[in-house]
Structure 1
Amino acid sequence: MLTKRKGITPVIAIVLLLLITVGAVGVVYTQFQSLLGNPGEQVDQQQQVRQTEIRFDSAYKAQDASGEYYVNLTVTNVGAVAWNTSDFTLSYVPEGTGSAVSGQALQATKFSYNETSDNCFSEDNSSQLVDPENGYTCNTGVKWPSATTTIGFSISMNSASKSWGVYTCTPSTTSSVGC
């Protein structure tokens, strides 16, 4: 006596195999996509870095509300794209050191530094978008140097290894208002 075996038909078996294959391909694709990220976005960031240019225009003496004199710095966006002030860091190059330091490290030198909420490119400072050919002026937090004392300023981009040289400020007399 033969017993009838029940099973699935060949058509249903093929459909099930196709669904399993499509599902597996979908899972593998999403896993690799998350590993690779978005290459188009990376290219856009690289292009923005290449098209970002800053020109130091001036450093001048400015008095704050407490009567102290600080170095104000004016820079201009001479690149092809707008940039946000929060994307940059201002470093200082004290006379005789030859190396750039942060504002906190500057306090260990002969230069006086005051961390205020409106310092250049400060995280506390509200970020500002600077369009091409527009300028940006800010308080560096550095007290105005004495005559013939030199301090330098350097700007670097936070997200890339791009920086803009050292702009030096050396007042010729104690009453000088510019560098």
Structure 2
Amino acid sequence: MDTAKNTGISTKKKNLKIILFGRPATKKNGSRIMRRGKATRLLPSEAFVKYENECLWQLKRYQKYKFELPIRIQCIYYLPNKANYPDLVGLMQATADILEKAQVIENDRLIVSWDGTYISPTLDKLNPRVEVIITDMNDVDTPDPYVIKKRAAKMQLGLF
């Protein structure tokens, strides 16, 4: 293990590259309203539900890599066409929620950077996808109380 002078803190960054096949979709475009009696619920679009299920199935093999401390995510989205063109922020939110639901990341609050994320100007009709690179950012300071608490708990247990 590559450590910084017996501190127990690894100086080697962990990276994980994932390619999720299918047309990237956002939760908010085409939301549905469901009424049952007096209760009303806002459901994500059918396109998102289909995309989420496809991604969750593909992510099953990555659950063993669960990230529990600060991370950087870089995504490159390849769309099949310009029909129903999504916004980048919606795609990022959808990706974060899917990675959390698949238990690849513990909580999307752990994402401290989306640096390098973009929608590719090149369309790929035959192979729409998102290429995701998750990088361990344990050495990054963050003001988020949730992350500070997680890091302190890990250090107390000697896991970090």
TM-score normalized by structure 2?
0.33
Bigger relative contact order, structure 1 or 2 (CA pairs below 8 A, ≥6 apart): 2
Question: As a proportion of its length, which structure holds more helix?
Answer: 2
Structure whose CA Rg is larger: 1
